[in-house]
Amino acid sequence: MPRVDLTLESNVVRTGRVVQLEGMFDVPAAEKTRVEYHFDAPHEERPWNVGLIVGPSGAGKSSVARHLFGDCIVSGYDWPPNKTIVDGFGDRPIRETTAALSSVGFSSPPNWLRPFHVLSNGEQFRATMARALVDDRPTICIDEFTSVVDRTVAQIGSHAIAKSIRSRGKQLVAVTCHYDVEEWLQPDWVIEPHLGRFAWRSLRRRPEVSLEIVRCDHSAWRWFAPHHYLSADLHKAARCFVGLVNGDPAAFAGLLHFPHPKARDIQSLSRLVVRPDYQGLGLGAYSFVETVAKIVKANGLRMFIGTSHPALIGAWAKSARWNMTAPPAFQSAPAKSAKLGGGARHAKNRRVAHFEWAGPGFETAEERQKAIRLWTN
């Protein structure tokens, strides 16, 4: 059985300042400082994917991590200073690179085209985790996990990363002083060095996320325009909705009437954006976009969407709730479309797939009435 028997010692030189502190606080300074950790750590007894070493600062987390997983510790990666982050994945195919970035909740193509050093802390964290995912080592240990990012990013990012680690059959050891990521990581085991404790954990549901969808005017687009992978333009006739996660604007949808020669009930989802801090919750592929589709259906209409985003195509192609009306293909349309307006660009050089919502509507009359009010107000 793996066991931690670790003793850390350091000499104390009794300088004048040390002697002064002894007198001020009545704390005798020993000739050596000594900290010991002794506990069983049977992480090899069962299959696992995610482990967590957690505790306050100075609790021995990094020392224990080096003792148990020294060869697996990732201290960082070298990124090309004047090239985009997609150029930082070596000779790996671009689809593998973008899939890794998307899988950790970094699904913003405009930001993929930026150098690492200009990204936000949250984006740098996710890019680093994407590199770790394609690392050839089966086990990776990340010290100071989520230490420099906003706590919302830390929690949502932890959920996306753990999900990807499990789907790839890899192992992640997260070392952190932040207990708030535990319920989002859903670790298989937890080590608390300061308590001398190792414990197996059972998987539980991640914390519930409060999602509210509201109707909005075009002014809300300014929060989302920089993150849309095609164009910052929004058609003046678009009917707009914002998804609020715990009260914060997280997702945006813009819908347009589609001028079909035979059908008058088609709404085209022309803009779908999830802000980077909230990517990884499944808002774009599932909860937010599906609720918007139900709102459309409650008003006697059908919702269609065309996308070239590989993650969305992959998710919807597998879902019984979406009907693929046209498989991925290169479009031959002109670069701009007067029908869509606002300078919206067609995908002349991108593979675009088209889908129609085929899922259920709202179950209760109250929900349907609320959807009608949202649509007509």
Whether residue 87 sits in one domain with residue 131:
yes
**355 and 285 Cβ atoms separated by less than 8 Å:** no
Task: Specify whether the CB–CB gap between 176 and 52 falls below 8 A.
Answer: yes
369: domain CATH number? 3.40.630.30
Q: How far is CA 366 from the centre of its chain?
A: 33
Sort 271 into a burial class: Cβ within 10 Å, 0-12 / 13-18 / 19+. Answer: buried
Are 44 and 2 spatial neighbours (Cβ–Cβ below 8 Å)? yes
- What pLDDT, on a 0 to 100 scale, did the predictor assign at position 193? 95
224 and 191 in one domain? no
* Residue 93 within any structural domain of the chain: yes
What's the mean pLDDT in 292-297? 97
Based on the fold, state whether residues 224 and 190 are members of the same structural domain. Answer: no
pLDDT at 28 over 90: no
Q: Are residues 154 and 283 in the same domain?
A: no
Closest by alpha carbon to 34, among 63, 59, 10, 6?
Answer: 10
What is the amino acid identity at position 150?
D
The answer to whether position 56 is within a domain reads: yes
189 & 239 share domain: no
Beta bridge partners of 324: 355
For residue 165, what is the enclosing H or E element?
helix 151-168
- Residue 258 sits in the same domain as residue 344: yes
Burial class from Cβ neighbours inside 10 Å (0-12, 13-18, 19+) for residue 141 reads buried
Using CA atoms, how far apart are residues 244 and 250, in angstroms rounded to an integer?
Answer: 6
The answer to whether the beta carbons of residues 183 and 212 sit under 8 Å apart is no
Same domain, 217 and 145: no
| Nearest Cα to Cα of residue 281 among 310, 308, 251 | 251
Domain assignment of residue 7, yes or no: no
Residue 198's beta-bridge partner residues? 191
The CATH number of the domain where 80 resides is what? 3.40.50.300
Residue 1 has pLDDT above 80, yes or no: no
- What pLDDT shows up at residue 7? 86
Burial of 292 per CB tally in 10 Å (0-12, 13-18, 19+): buried
Is residue 21 situated within a structural domain?
A: no
pLDDT, averaged across the chain: 88
Amino acid at 312: L
In a domain, 31, yes or no: no
Residues 195 and 222 in one domain: no
Query: Which residue type is seen at 59?
Result: A
pLDDT in tens, 343-357: 444 445 678 999 999
Q: Which amino acid is at 242?
A: V
> What are the distances in angstroms from CA 302 to CA 52, 292, 320, 358?
45, 11, 16, 9
The answer on pLDDT for 334 being more than 70 is: no
Asked if residue 221 and residue 324 are part of one domain, the reply reads yes
Q: Is 164 left (phi over 0), alpha (psi -120 to 50) or beta?
A: alpha
Same domain, 338 and 301: yes
Buried b (16+ CB within 10 A) or exposed e, 318-350: ebeebeeeeeeeeeeeeeeeeebbbebbbbeeb
Which residue carries 């107000």 as its tokens? 377
Task: Give me 233's structure tokens.
Answer: 């333009």
Are both 266 and 339 inside the same structural domain?
yes
Of the residues 138, 166, 200, which one is the last residue of a structural domain? 200
What CA–CA distance (Å, rounded) separates 68 from 62? Answer: 10
Q: Which residues are registered as beta bridge partners of 257?
A: 267
Q: Which of 61-65, 202-206, 223-227, 254-258 is predicted least confidently?
A: 202-206
Number of structural domains the chain divides into: 2
pLDDT of residue 338: 37
Asked whether residue 5 is domain-assigned, the answer is: no
Above 80 in pLDDT, residue 153?
yes
Q: Taking 60 as the threshold, does the pLDDT of residue 326 lie above it?
A: yes
Q: Which residue has the tokens 């959920």?
A: 159
DSSP state at residue 169: T
* Whole-prediction pTM: 0.81
User: What is the bridge-based pairing of β-strands 266-274 and 248-257?
Assistant: antiparallel
Whether 15 is covered by a domain: the verdict is no
DSSP category for residue 25? H
pLDDT tens string 49-59 = 999 999 999 88
Average pLDDT estimate for 250-257: 96
> Tokens standing for 318?
């597998």
Is residue 101 located within the same domain as residue 243?
Answer: no
Last residue in a domain, options 154, 179, 200:
200
What SS3 class is residue 258? coil
Residue 10: is its pLDDT beyond 90?
no
Last residue of a domain, one of 200, 225, 243: 200
Contact status, residue 104 vs residue 129, Cβ threshold 8 Å: yes
The domain of 85 spans 44-200
Specify if 289 maps to a domain: yes
